[in-house]
A and B are shown apart, each in its own frame.
Chain A
């Protein structure tokens, strides 16, 4: 079984302060949800259910650093689609669709959302474009029937839900699927010899143009820091004044 894992480079969410100001020179990391997807692919390979894991990302050469991190975790080889435009989720899904056609994986595992953009669209759009089944927000994956189907537990607003999907399919990961491993030194050494293939949209035969554009970015209104109270009695009195008790 071959697994394709698309991933995105994002500013390290732990670098963002509580005030909302991003650090001036953010450290870039693999989107945490995508890191969970990579980890899951590794575990599937480690239990003998997959033979190859291919990573794919889109961006300028600078994202090679996150590609190396994915390879160091254990991804077998990687593809970088050389495109540094500000793409929207639909454009990303179209490009990934072309990569899927080229690589013909049995399953695509990817994060449910990127923690910078928070759109939560690409996996579902990719499934729609390909006409493949999808399981989103997944916290458990088991392969069934000689790996022709996957049974997935999904985290929904109403609690856990289980679906079975025919492969090939798209699976998007939620937080509790696993805890990604740290990169090891031997992993890093091995990664240096792994292949990063660079392709353009032209070479993939796909033409995309983002149709959503960010016009401006602003800070949301801040909540003023409130009042410290010293006792339960004082708190209850305040809440009564506010007419919430």
Chain B
């Protein structure tokens, strides 16, 4: 039994670190929590999860779970939630958890709250704070019933300490032959990158439409990111224009980031983009339009032409 069951995400090699931040919410909720990991060939991944104070690391390891197909994954997640008697099924917001957890919620007949930023106790009940309207407003939500599904924003919860006595690793037994069979994995884009992950990096450099083309984007945005050892992000407009791949998109419908330093190059500051960056510690905006809305929220703003400023900045950072 565990009060909370936390879905942990991995990329077959290692755990995705933001998915661990849900543990911090589980600790705030109190009571014991188990970690759940699905896939095939998970020994190393399971072993890397034993120091987070969980009452168990529950491992659903089967060839049928090699790829994260939502129909199978949701079935196994719902079954594990029931069998362990968990009242809260928890994950960190990502395209993976957003794909599988609402489906699991339906199988559990449980309501769900997406993108939890904080909890508060009102009259002895836990309420959840979450953003709506591209983060322009916050709501406080009450959930009825004894079981619920939540995803948290990784940027709103600290990474948990990993210094607890080892958790037991338990294999979750399920009938693989009876899993749904309506979805088939075909392929995944493989793009090698030496840059840090966008959602985990201390520094993010993003570019907007004025970067004009893929080559300029890579030279200026990529060049500055590399000089700083940072990750590369983009606006929707830059992705739509083919300057950057879709998974670089930062904002309401893309990734939410909160690095120490966010540098916005040629980004005017549409609310949908700002939704994904406003918890960054320092925001630097470089834009030739002095009236660009991003200057209203940037820690430091520099008005000018990217094509002159960014090469100078790359040079200055390299010298620094």
Contacts and interface: CB of A to CB of B under 8 A. Distances in A.
B272 to A, nearest CB: 7
Interface in B203-232: 203, 228
Contacts of B99: 124, 134, 136-137
Contacts of B284: 235, 239
A175 interface: yes
A62 interface: no
Given A134-B103, A159-B246, A89 B112 contact: yes
A128 interface: yes
Given A175-B236, A232-B309, A244-B203, A121 B102 contact: yes
B134 A16 contact: yes
A244 B227 CA distance: 13
B246 A213 contact: no
A117 interface: yes
Which 10 residue pairs across A and B have the least CB separation, nearest first? A128-B106, A20-B136, A133-B182, A124-B102, A159-B189, A128-B103, A121-B102, A162-B186, A226-B299, A125-B106
B247 A159 contact: yes
B182 to A, nearest CB: 4
B38 interface: no
A121 to B, nearest CB: 4
B300 A226 contact: yes
7 contacts: A18-B271, A89-B112, A90-B112, A127-B106, A159-B189, A226-B301, A228-B300
Interface of A: 11, 13, 16-18, 20, 22, 88-90, 93, 112-113, 115-129, 131-137, 139, 151, 154-166, 169, 174-176, 211-220, 222-223, 225-233, 235-236, 238-240, 242, 244-245
B114 A163 contact: no
B288 interface: no
A10 to B, nearest CB: 9
A36 to B, nearest CB: 11
Given A13-B272, A127-B70, A228 B140 contact: no
B107 A169 contact: no
B317 A227 contact: no
B106 A16 contact: no
A233 B133 contact: no
A242 B282 contact: yes
A211 B145 contact: yes
Given A22-B133, A132-B182, A159 B96 contact: no
Contacts of B59: none
Interface string B67-82: 0011100100000000
Given A90-B112, A215-B142, A226-B300, A118 B134 contact: yes
Nearest to B286: A235
Q: DSSP class of A's interface residues: helix, strand, loop or mixed?
A: mixed
Nearest to B301: A228
B297 A158 contact: no
Interface residues of B, number: 92
Contact of B183 (A90, A164, A230): A164
A161 B133 contact: no
Contact of A116 (B127, B132, B140): B132
Contact of A157 (B96, B134, B202): B96
B297 A220 contact: no
* Residue with the highest number of chain B CB atoms closer than 10 Å, among A160, A162, A223: A223
Given A118-B132, A159-B245, A163-B186, A136 B240 contact: no
Nearest to B78: A128
Interface in B257-298: 260-261, 269, 271-272, 274, 278, 281-284, 293, 295-298
B3 interface: no
Interface in B84-118: 94-96, 98-107, 110-115
A164 B184 contact: yes
B141 interface: yes
Contacts of B69: 163
A235 B137 contact: no
Given A13-B134, A128-B104, 12 more contacts: A16-B133, A18-B274, A88-B111, A124-B70, A124-B101, A158-B11, A212-B141, A213-B141, A215-B142, A220-B136, A244-B261, A245-B317
A163 B296 contact: no
